[in-house]
Amino acid sequence: MMIINDKNMVFVGKRVDTRVEAWQMPQGGIDLGETPSSAAMREMAEEIGSDKGYILAESKYWYSYDLPKFLIPKLWNGSFRGQKQRWFLIRFTGSDHDININAYNPEFSEWRWVSFAELPIIIIPFKRKLYQAVIDEFSEVLSSLLLGA
């Protein structure tokens, strides 16, 4: 999920399962019987502790990435080699006080809002190409938001 606040900044969290600067946008799986959009809103509530928001756009494509070989045995018990994802641009309508990254099973140790320009720079390197593709796909919607249209 690309969650943006009223200042058009993007939510990122620092992963709890690594000591390196591994920031990412929230993500999650789709449960049996869920639509991708309902899964996105459920995962938003689970990962940031709030579902205050609404979907602005859904990616037209499924995106995928492969984990670096050295990470495969360390993540998901070595069961997966990457992920296939559908992305959603979500307008967060709550306040920073509504965010509680410890509400469920914490995936993040810290969180912050970043600019679109900063996003590809701080993201863990193996996800940069994917994140840039998502930014590019949502660029028309993002441009209208940034221009206040």
Q: Which pLDDT tens digit goes with each residue over 20-38? A: 777 999 998 899 999 999 9
Residue 47, judged by CB atoms within 10 A of its CB (0-12, 13-18, 19+), counts as buried
More confident residue, 45 or 120: 45
**What confidence score (pLDDT) does residue 74 get?**
56
**What confidence score (pLDDT) does residue 136 get?**
92
Residue ranges of domains in the chain: 2-103+113-146
Q: What is the pTM of this model?
A: 0.88
Summarised one tens digit per residue, pLDDT across range 48-86 is 999 999 999 999 999 987 776 665 565 555 555 666 889
Token duo for residue 86 = 């559908």
Phi, psi dihedrals of residue 14, rounded to the nearest 5°:
-95, 125
Summarised one tens digit per residue, pLDDT across range 95-141 is 999 999 998 889 999 999 999 889 989 988 888 888 899 999 999 88
Query: Which residue has 């600019």 as its token pair?
Result: 115
**What confidence score (pLDDT) does residue 125 get?**
81
Checking if the pLDDT of 143 tops 80, the result is: yes
The C-alpha atoms of residue 110 and residue 125 are separated, in whole angstroms, by: 19
Q: In sequence order, what are the beta bridge partners of 110? A: 14
The C-alpha atoms of residue 37 and residue 21 are separated, in whole angstroms, by: 29
Homologous superfamily assigned to 2-103+113-146: Nucleoside Triphosphate Pyrophosphohydrolase (3.90.79.10)
User: How many alpha carbons lie under 13 Å from residue 132 in its C-beta half-sphere?
Assistant: 9
Give kind and range of the element (H or E) at residue 142. helix 139-146
Token duo for residue 70 = 């050295």
Q: In sequence order, what are the beta bridge partners of 123? A: 23
**What confidence score (pLDDT) does residue 20 get?**
73
